[in-house]
């Protein structure tokens, strides 16, 4: 396995905050300015002049959090997909809906005892376009959630049965 190291440069901006920059493998530079107020700006540097920004996008706290979740969740899901390829089909990754009528809608995820009962793991929950990676047992499921479940075919099917009916098939 190759380890790729990413160099992040940090610069203190007196009276403003801190800027973190990184250069991508494609040669582009991006950065984030974290203002003393907590405001964050995403910076895209001009490809013709890497010292000048071509665009700055101010982010609210919720937008910054959503972007962080999207980047992390997509990375987790791509790593899981790569793992799926390595084990030649013995691992299943599926999105299982939590319907409004599920016996677990409104209840903590730990109440399902999904991992103990099936051996499959709920690695993320997608809700209203946002992803929560590695939800804890006290995370409350809601109707409309999509759970990202990883396990054997039997284990994932078992989680689907638990969520839909409160039991395994």
Q: Which CATH superfamily is domain 66-165 in?
A: Regulator of K+ conductance, C-terminal domain (3.30.70.1450)
- Note whether 2 and 19 are within 8 A (CB): no
The rounded distance, in Å, linking the Cα atoms of 49 and 52 is 6
Looking at residue 88, what is its pLDDT? 47
Looking at residue 162, what is its pLDDT? 95
Q: What is the DSSP letter of 138?
A: T
**pTM confidence score:** 0.50
Q: What is the DSSP letter of 132?
A: E
pLDDT in tens, 28-86: 889 888 888 888 899 999 888 877 888 899 988 778 777 777 776 555 555 555 554 54
Residue among 149, 151, 147 nearest 139 (CA): 147
Which of 17-26, 89-98, 132-141 comes out lowest in average pLDDT?
89-98
Q: Which ranges in the chain are annotated with CATH 3.30.70.1450?
A: 66-165
Q: What is the DSSP string of 16-85?
A: TEEEEEEE-TTS-EEEEEEETTS-EEEEEE-SS-TTSEEEEEEE-HHHHHHHHHHHHHHHHHHHHHHHHH
Confidence class for position 140, pLDDT limits 50, 70, 90: very high
């Amino acid at each position: 396995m190759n380890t790729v190291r990413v160099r992040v440069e940090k610069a203190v901006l007196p009276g403003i905050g801190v800027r973190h920059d990184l250069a991508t493998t494609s040669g582009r530079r991006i950065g984030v300015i974290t203002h003393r107020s907590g405001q964050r700006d995403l910076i895209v540097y001009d490809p013709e002049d890497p010292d000048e920004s071509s665009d700055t996008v101010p982010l609210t706290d919720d937008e910054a959090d959503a972007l962080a979740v999207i980047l992390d969740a997509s990375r987790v899901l791509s790593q899981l997909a790569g793992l799926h390829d390595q084990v030649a089909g013995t691992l299943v990754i599926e999105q299982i809906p939590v319907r409004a009528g599920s016996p677990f809608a409104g209840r903590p995820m730990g109440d399902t005892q999904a991992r103990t009962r099936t051996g499959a793991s709920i690695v993320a929950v997608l809700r209203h376009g946002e992803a929560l990676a590695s939800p804890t047992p006290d995370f409350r499921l809601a109707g409309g959630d999509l759970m990202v479940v990883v396990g054997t075919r039997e284990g994932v099917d078992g989680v689907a049965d638990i969520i839909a009916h409160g039991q395994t098939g």
